Amino acid sequence: MKPLAYFDETLVLLHPQVSDRWDLITQLVDRMLGSPVLQAQKHDISRALLLQKIKEREEERATGLGHGVAFPHARIEGLSQPVVALALVDPPLDFGSLDGKPVSIVLLIVVPEDQPQTALQLIAQSARIFASPEKRSAFLAQSGVSAFYAYIQEHVVEKDVVLKARDIMRTPTHIVNPGTPLKEVTQLMNEQRLDTVPVCEEDGTLVGEITCDNLFKLGMPHFFTQLKSVAFIREFDPFEKYFADESHALAQDVMVRDFCAMPLKATLLEIVFELAIHQRPQVYIVQDKKCIGVIDRILVLERVIDV
């Protein structure tokens, strides 16, 4: 099988002396520039260009994904094939990680402009390894450049992964329970600019969802939902009933149970099918019926299309 990217032992940095993440990224870029791929480029790709593209991506959205790992990356026009470089740093560096923790494992990834899916595959395969405490410990137990090179080459670079839910989902940050007053639900959705919120029992079991569509239709007589126009009636207030009910209604009174729950192993194709074809506002990733992740259209754009 053809490796996903070029990688050799010269692209492994063990405990380099660096002051911050930009210093580290610069050292990794310098190693990449010395690789056969960059040396053989018909069209020169400068140090300044690589640093600019990587910095633009970092400033747009931090690439520290948690668990002490970061995946700075960039798409480079004219690059002949993907290249990765690895660094283990001590003390750890601030990469603006989602969990707020500093980073000690950094995998720098550069790919041709037209191959963003390769960057996502490399990140996904690495994240699967480093998110597991057991696998992360096994990786860190390696000793010497050759051992770290062999591990990444075997477990990341030479893997051809199928993107799955666990690779792109985010942890749900805003959840309500069935007994949450409707007024609190709408306040939460307004303050956080949420189109959809999951409804879960205290143990995390997913039982429903509330969407803006649910709320809009709450005060609307059923027959109105079948009309193509309301031009013949102008005085009806669709929120009159909503406000009359809001004071005593709970989340369980307005939630719908026709939500889309998928397992961690659901493929990207299955997820996009639900979002695009079935017009789901959000896909919930569940394990033992408990909501452990969410995926919406914006997340797919962010994680997949706009790598």
pLDDT per residue as tens digits for the range 204-227 = 999 999 998 888 777 665 655 665
Angle formed by the axes of helices 21-33 and 47-60, to 10°?
A: 140
Domain architecture of the chain: domains with CATH: 9-160 (3.40.930.10), 182-305 (3.10.580.10)
Task: Give the C-alpha separation, 22 to 203, whole Å.
Answer: 42
Provide the mean pLDDT of the chain: 86
Return the pLDDT at 234. 60
- CA geometry: angle 157, 161, 162, nearest 5 deg: 160
User: Which pLDDT value is given to residue 145?
Assistant: 95
What is the percentage of the chain residues whose pLDDT exceeds 70? 88
How large is the average pLDDT for residues 104-128? 89
pLDDT number for residue 217: 74
Please calculate the CA angle 178-180-182 and round it to the nearest 5 degrees: 105
Rounded to two decimals, the pTM is 0.70
For the cut 80, the answer to whether the pLDDT of residue 242 exceeds it is no
pLDDT at 47: 93
pLDDT tens profile 6-62: 999 999 999 999 999 999 999 999 999 999 999 988 677 899 999 999 999 888 877
